[in-house]
Amino acid sequence: MKDKVIIITGGSSGIGRACALAFGKAGGKVVISARNAQKLNEVGQELEAADIEFLAVTGDVSKEEDCHRLIEETVARFGGIDVMLNNAGISMRALFQDVDLAVIRQLMDINFWGTVYCTKFALPYIQQRKGSIIGVSSIAGFQGLPGRTGYSASKFAMQGFLGALRTEVLHQGVHVMVACPGFTASNIRNTALAANGQQQGESPRDEGKMMSAEEVADKILEGTIKRQRELIMTGQGKLTVFLSKWLPGLTDKLVYNHMKKEADSPFK
């Protein structure tokens, strides 16, 4: 990653923050973007302390104009783009029968359209340098998860978009990778939206037993360097993807039983 320019959305916490440090320590020039200016500034201070060259751009990936500005400011500062890491994302936890449709719309705007907007504006620069486009997805992009209809839909859409794009740029030297961390210790469950659109606040899972954001970042960095097509990071995730292809009915039952074990599960 020596002197490579890496844009990371959702760079103010969790996997985004960890990726900024990992790619920066590998020699990259890091551009971080997020809505929360204060948290973005805190990550910027960490990068500065680690002697990592960086640019912080406050913005909302669900807004096309913010994504365009992110790309323009990056190119103005560093002259090009080598890696577009689409990490910004939000989750939900509610039955479809109960959820406000605005919640699903918000998930699609951030998780799917945010990836589309940033990739659209970054693509010409990625093509010039034969760089990488990465989407941080989820096992929910392979197997629909109950209580996460909007989240699953957004990740299926992201993976379909990136898969089609990968084929379009097949002979242009552009690398496209989908990274699926599985359950990761981050704040995504704390900020997940409930049926009414409010953040649920408490995670329904034991965060201490999950893969750390730093482990995920190291794997994404390695996958970028090796120009991998797909990165499924946990044994549970690999098993779920395999079973969903060959034993889909059984997988539905296993996933249902697994999800109903969550605290305050609606599937009691």
- CA 257/CA 254 separation, integer angstroms: 5
Cβ neighbour number for residue 209 with a 10 Å cutoff? 8
Residue 257 counted as domain residue: no
Residue 170's DSSP bridge partners are none
Q: Among 9-23, 95-109, 128-142, 170-184, which stretch is predicted with the lowest mean pLDDT?
A: 170-184
- CA 136/CA 114 separation, integer angstroms: 12
Residue 27 counted as domain residue: yes
For residue 54 the two structure tokens come to: 């960086």
Tens digit of each residue's pLDDT (9 = 90 or more) over 119-130: 999 999 999 999
Residue 18 counted as domain residue: yes
What pLDDT is attached to residue 209? 66
Residue 96 reports pLDDT greater than 90 = yes
What's the mean pLDDT in 236-251?
Answer: 93
Q: Among candidates 100, 116, 204, 185, which has minimal Cα distance to 150? A: 100
* Position 226 confidence tier, pLDDT thresholds 50, 70, 90: very high
- CA 95/CA 195 separation, integer angstroms: 7
Would you call 151 a catalytic residue per the annotation?
yes
Residue 258 counted as domain residue: no
What's the mean pLDDT in 3-22?
Answer: 97
Tens digit of each residue's pLDDT (9 = 90 or more) over 122-161: 999 999 999 999 999 999 999 999 999 999 999 999 999 9
Residue 37 reports pLDDT greater than 70 = yes
What's the mean pLDDT in 237-262?
Answer: 92
Out of 117, 125, 151, 256, pick the active-site residue: 151
Range of the domain at 211: 5-236
Strands across the sheet containing 5-9: 54-58, 29-34, 5-9, 83-86, 132-136, 175-180, 230-232
Tell me how many domains the chain contains.
Answer: 1
Cβ neighbour number for residue 235 with a 10 Å cutoff? 9
Longest dimension (CA), the chain: 55
> For residues 149 and 181, is the Cβ–Cβ distance under 8 A?
no
Query: Cα-flanking dihedrals φ and ψ of residue 142, to 5°?
Result: -110, -35
Cβ neighbour number for residue 242 with a 10 Å cutoff? 13
Tens digit of each residue's pLDDT (9 = 90 or more) over 53-72: 999 999 999 999 999 999 99
* Position 232 confidence tier, pLDDT thresholds 50, 70, 90: very high
Residue 261 counted as domain residue: no
> For residues 173 and 217, is the Cβ–Cβ distance under 8 A?
no
Residue 266 counted as domain residue: no
Tens digit of each residue's pLDDT (9 = 90 or more) over 168-220: 999 999 999 999 997 766 555 467 888 887 876 555 545 556 789 999 999 99
What pLDDT is attached to residue 220? 98
Residue 91 counted as domain residue: yes
Residue 88 reports pLDDT greater than 60 = yes
What pLDDT is attached to residue 268? 67
CATH classification at residue 159? 3.40.50.720
Residue 259 counted as domain residue: no
